[in-house]
Structure 1
Amino acid sequence: MKTSELSACFCTPDVQACRDFYRKHFAVTIIFDCGWYLNLRFGESGPTLQFMEPQGEMPVFGGVGVTLNFKVEDVDAEYQRLVTEGLGILMPLEDHPWGDRGFSVADPIGNSLYIYSDREPTEEYRQYYRE
């Protein structure tokens, strides 16, 4: 299989809350929005994320167990910005031995958003990198 793009779509009755959250805190571009289905783009040509209201008997996402990872240039600046904007912090900003510095917040439907910048891993973790 040759994949040209990969994205996630979450089935939720809270499409409006997700639209408002990601526009306010992550400056996304709305690519498509018919009310019940929403397609968001991060940056000019970055990844996309979709939200849709349940259609028929579709199961609704329960908000447990999903973490979306956001690699950013300056994690400290993003942490400060999101705290100032009033977002609750799930995991504090800290350095991790596996090679990043990051923190977590939650979106309106319970996704954990892990925001991080790369750091040099400790010797213990350096051995696990393949590239």
Structure 2
Amino acid sequence: MLPIDVSPTVTVDDLGPAREFYTTHLQGRLIFDCGWYIGLKFGERGPTMHFMQRRSPDQPAYQGGLTCNLKLENAAKVEEAHQRVTEAGLPLVMPLEDHPWGDRGFCTLDPYGVALYVYVEIEPSEEFKQYFV
């Protein structure tokens, strides 16, 4: 199997917070909305993310533990995103900083507790260069 794309679908009880959060704070554009399932696209050719409302009580809702890494074009875009997140009062679970593993980034949470790690690649420290293949 060789996928040409990978996109997460998060199962939740209410899609309203996803519609609001991702269109307002991450400039997502709805590309599909049938009432119980939505698809969001970021940019013209960018990635997609999906949310699905539970269709039966037996279908488990998201319980946490997911981190979506959002790689941006450059450091200025990361700074702008950090400023928007901070001004909106969204939670910061990791401050904006340079990391020795080779990125500059920060982490916030969506309304369901999905961690959104926003970053740009930078030169890794000598310690971490050995781990790249």
TM-score, scaled relative to structure 2:
0.92
**TM-fit CA distance, 1:117:** 1.0
Structure 2 partner of 1:60: 61
- The answer to whether the 8 Å contact 1:66/1:112 transfers is yes
Structure 1: any 5+ residue segments left out of the alignment? none
Q: Secondary structure at the residue paired with 1:19? A: helix
Runs ≥4 in structure 1, deviation > 4 angstroms? none
Paired residues, number? 129
Structure 2 counterpart of 1:60, one-letter code: A
Between the aligned partners of 1:11 and 1:93, the Cα distance in structure 2 is 29
Instruction: Provide the TM-score with structure 1 as the length reference.
Output: 0.94
Structure 2 counterpart of 1:114? 117
5+ residue gaps in structure 2?
none
Q: Deviations over 1:97-127 (max 9, x none)?
A: 0001111100011101001111110001011
Please identify, of 73-82 and 101-110, the stretch whose mean Cα deviation from structure 2 is larger. 73-82
Counterpart check, 1:44 vs 2:44:
yes
Equivalent-residue separation in structure 2 for 1:103 and 1:12 (angstroms): 25
TM-aligned CA deviation for residue 60 of structure 1: 0.7
Kept after mapping to 2: 8 A contact 1:14/1:109: no
Report deviation, 1:86: 2.0
The farther-off stretch of 5-14 and 81-90 is 81-90
Letter in 1 for 2:15: V
CA distance in 2, matches of 1:92, 1:71: 16
1:34-78: CA deviation from partner (whole Å, max 9, x where unpaired): 11100111111111111011112211111x211110011231221
Aligned to 2:71: 71
Letter in 2 for 1:58: Q
Superposition CA RMSD, Å: 1.0
Counterparts of 1:14 and 1:69, CA distance in 2: 23
Q: Please say which of residues 46-55 and 85-94 is displaced more in the overlay.
A: 85-94
CA distance in 2, matches of 1:14, 1:21: 12
The whole-number CA distance in structure 2 between the counterparts of 1:69 and 1:48 is 12
Give 3-state SS (helix, strand or coil) of 1:90's partner: strand
Shift of 1:2: 2.4
1:99 maps to what in 2?
Answer: 102
